Structure 1
Amino acid sequence: MRRRMLDVIGTVIPYDFYAFVLTDPQTTVGTSPLAEVPDLDDLPRVIRLKYLTRPGRWTTLDASGCTTLLAATGGDLGRSDQWEGALRQHGVTDVLVAVLRDRHGTWGFLDLWRRTGVFASAEVAAVASALPRLTAAVRNVVARSFVVGPPAAAPKAATAYGPGVLLLGDDLTPVAGTRQLRDWLTTLLPTAGDAGPVPASALNVAAQLLAVEAGVDDHPPSGRVALAPGTWLTVRADRLTEPLSGASIAVGYELTSPADRLDLFARAHAMSPRESDVVVAVATGLDTRGAARRLGITELTVQDHLKSVFARTGAASRADLLARALGS
């Protein structure tokens, strides 16, 4: 889907390279990047500086949701650490930055790199006008990730992998990882031959940890990412108390908790706060009467909210709803 979006954008707005990153809607941290950059070996540095750079950061954009790096730096690209430390050497002359967000959260951000000239105001306006449709489409993709597929579609013994850990240096260079991590990443990013998968989700949460430590942003360094239909992982970064063989950051992968699944499920299906409350009540085992008592509403209102939730999610019953929301 993202590639189709990029193809359409490219027909009217020329660009040379891109990064289209899906984010956790609550933490705003990247979890599923799609990128074409000049040098993949330089990706850790590009990601690190993206998170550490205030001008043009997706979390700082105004209501339009779109700007250029040239505009964000007041015409002085040297004010951007990412440009000065990474993009400049690749001949980048401007970056169009857009954020995909709505009242339910931040679903992604898009960077378009240009090597010749700058982005015109009309091009920025064209992307900004398309953002509501792009955001809705991305959110709907996340919602569809909760549909439980046939057994063959699920990763083999995913629940038996156990938590995985990746150790990185402050420059985001991977140092070591557990066997369980290899299982998770190979499922997330299948690769050919003996080449190891690029832990892009790990690089993003680790970069967010650095941003928090530097005072650039205060969102937690974690995110939820779809492993397969019906299966979600939480990726989280933390600082090691003492450096270990060149590593200073630990990134953990584990199955997403029921509470965090319910939160993401409600956001992805654009539920109202009260609809979300009803789903949580049902997920804790309450019947209609119990949910009504907990929420201080009538049983009829609970049933009305559930009808709306069924319509939003495509669930045919409470059991089907919980199977989608909780993966059980």
Structure 2
Amino acid sequence: MRLGAAQERITAACAHPGHERALREAVLAEIGRVVPFDFHAWLLTDPETEVGTAPLASVPELGALPTLIRLKYLTPVHRWTTLDGVAALGAAPERSLLWRELLAGYGVRDIASTAFRDRFGCWGFLDLWRVGGAFTPAELRFLASVRAPVVAGLRAALLDSFATAPPPPGEPVVLLLDDSLHPIARTPGTDAHLRALLPTPPDRSPVPAAAFNVAAQLLAVEAGIDDHPPSARAHLTGGRWTTLRAARLCAGEAAVAVTLESASPAERLAVYGRAAGLTPRERDLLVRLASGDDTRGAARALGIAESTVTDHLKSIFTKTGAHGRRELLARACG
């Protein structure tokens, strides 16, 4: 009964998600009723690059965050990019680089990892850390049972984030990190951008967690752990989206530059189509509309009948809630 009630509450919350952070907080509270944990990290991910953004976390030591993120990305065991479901370290936590080099020192005994993915992409991952005991098979089954509604809720919440027209784009900002992911230097507008990504009190320095994630992905690519590009698109405020990218200043130098700039219309469009659950053909049509094609032009470019274009448009409007092409493109492209 307890499991069923928690599942029902999670499903209900995901059916009307509102803001994605509020949704994650509500779901996490329900999970905690059934699966006790001591620490957690729940990140959204770019659905294509699968690089993390927007962390919701409770960690043993905030000062160790750069190390934690670096080790997470360099740990191939139960990496969310290859995990299709739920897994725990169980009786062999030493398999995990993250556990061996950091979490064991805090008394963490087990890590339960969940990847939130569907056929449209990977939308986030959740790590639960337990001190003093391992996660049980029943607890892992519960986590697996709520994956589908949570994925649907996350996608719906992100789709709603496109509803408001974005403000004019700002100047690109840059954060320079060393190979341990500790900040070295930044441009003047960086702190404001970081606060928009992860709100922090005015009297505290912003936490550059999203920048740490894309930089850690660069390290993972260099180490041969993963081949997704070190970039991620993330929602800021209103209808504004940003794109983060990590790159070496020069080949061989122990410094990583993370740039943050307004997501381009094409970058927004790609996430929007996936969040709405559009089919590949519907996403192709959306790209043609964004390029300026009318029904006839889109039909010719895609090699389909004009009536088929009309049918696809009806489906797109149903899935997005848009009432016409102008509203659809304003939301998707900004």
| Fold shared per TM-score above 0.5 | yes
Partner of 2:314: 307
* Deviation of the 1:274 alpha carbon: 1.0
Q: Distance in 2 between matches of 1:186 and 1:28?
A: 22
Partner deviation per Cα, 1:192-220 (whole Å, 9 max, x = no partner): 23422101100000111111100111111
Residue 234 in 1 paired to residue 243 in 2?
A: yes
* Deviation of the 1:243 alpha carbon: 7.8
Q: Return the letter of the residue paired with 2:194.
A: L
Quick check: 1:139–1:268 contact (8 Å CA) kept in 2?
yes
Partner of 2:264: 257
Q: Distance in 2 between matches of 1:187 and 1:128?
A: 32
Residue 180 in 1 paired to residue 189 in 2?
A: yes
Q: Distance in 2 between matches of 1:301 and 1:56?
A: 42
Helix, strand or coil: the match of 2:226? coil
Quick check: 1:292–1:298 contact (8 Å CA) kept in 2?
yes
1:1-328 alignment to 2 at 5 Å? 1-61=23-83, 63=84, 65-70=85-90, 75-148=91-164, 159=169, 161-241=170-250, 248-327=255-334
Helix, strand or coil: the match of 1:19? strand
* Deviation of the 1:228 alpha carbon: 1.5
Quick check: 1:242–1:248 contact (8 Å CA) kept in 2?
no
Quick check: 2:89–2:95 contact (8 Å CA) kept in 1?
no
Cα root mean square deviation, aligned: 1.5
* Deviation of the 1:258 alpha carbon: 1.6
Q: Return the letter of the residue paired with 1:302.
A: V
Q: Return the letter of the residue paired with 2:287.
A: V
Q: Distance in 1 between matches of 2:157 and 2:140?
A: 25
Helix, strand or coil: the match of 2:229? coil
Report the identity percentage: 52
| Structure 1 residues without counterparts, runs of 5 or longer | none
Q: Distance in 2 between matches of 1:255 and 1:307?
A: 30
Quick check: 1:95–1:114 contact (8 Å CA) kept in 2?
yes
Q: Distance in 2 between matches of 1:121 and 1:186?
A: 39
Q: Distance in 1 between matches of 2:138 and 2:92?
A: 21
Helix, strand or coil: the match of 2:67? helix
The two structures have a TM-score, normalised by structure 2, of 0.90
Helix, strand or coil: the match of 1:57? coil
Q: Distance in 2 between matches of 1:315 and 1:141?
A: 15
Quick check: 1:165–1:252 contact (8 Å CA) kept in 2?
yes
Helix, strand or coil: the match of 2:232? strand
Q: Distance in 2 between matches of 1:27 and 1:162?
A: 24
Q: Distance in 2 between matches of 1:145 and 1:292?
A: 30
Q: 1:242 to 1:275 in 2, by over 3 A?
A: closer
Partner deviation per Cα, 1:60-93 (whole Å, 9 max, x = no partner): 22x4x100023xxxx3322211001110111000
Helix, strand or coil: the match of 2:87? strand
Helix, strand or coil: the match of 2:146? helix
Q: Distance in 2 between matches of 1:94 and 1:222?
A: 29
| Structure 2 residues without counterparts, runs of 5 or longer | 1-22
* Deviation of the 1:260 alpha carbon: 1.4
* Deviation of the 1:242 alpha carbon: 6.3
Q: Distance in 1 between matches of 2:51 and 2:306?
A: 38
Q: Return the letter of the residue paired with 2:125.
A: F
